[in-house]
Amino acid sequence: MAGIVLVGAQWGDEGKGKITDLLADDFDYVVRYQGGNNAGHTIKHGGRTLALHLIPSGVMYPHITPVIANGVVIDPKVLLEEMDRLEADGLSTRRMLISCNAHLIMPYPVSYYTS
């Protein structure tokens, strides 16, 4: 089974999400392997424009399983808001897989360090 790994070398904002979206139709999985919701990617597909921050762009394709892997830092509140927005827009997040080893940002450390 062949795969393609897309890695950026410009410290973000390079268009990785757009390139992933262009290649995604030929694959079964789109995996986000690192980063957090501070980054984002805007994709256009089938007349839709979506801004995603945690969920991989493969969510727009019904045959693709989007995966959030170990190295991703997840803010559960942001993830649930993004999932709700996608579901309201008619895109299912039910086939998405989330690693049990992904890192979680809890609200108490954020409030502790910002107060």
Q: State the catalytic residues.
A: 13, 41
CB of 53 within 8 A of CB of 79?
Answer: no
- Cα–Cα dist 62/78, whole Å: 23
Phi/psi region, residue 54 (left: phi>0; alpha: psi -120 to 50; beta: rest), is alpha
Q: Provide the Cα torsion 90, 85, 37, 15; round to 10°.
A: 40
- Cα–Cα dist 88/75, whole Å: 20
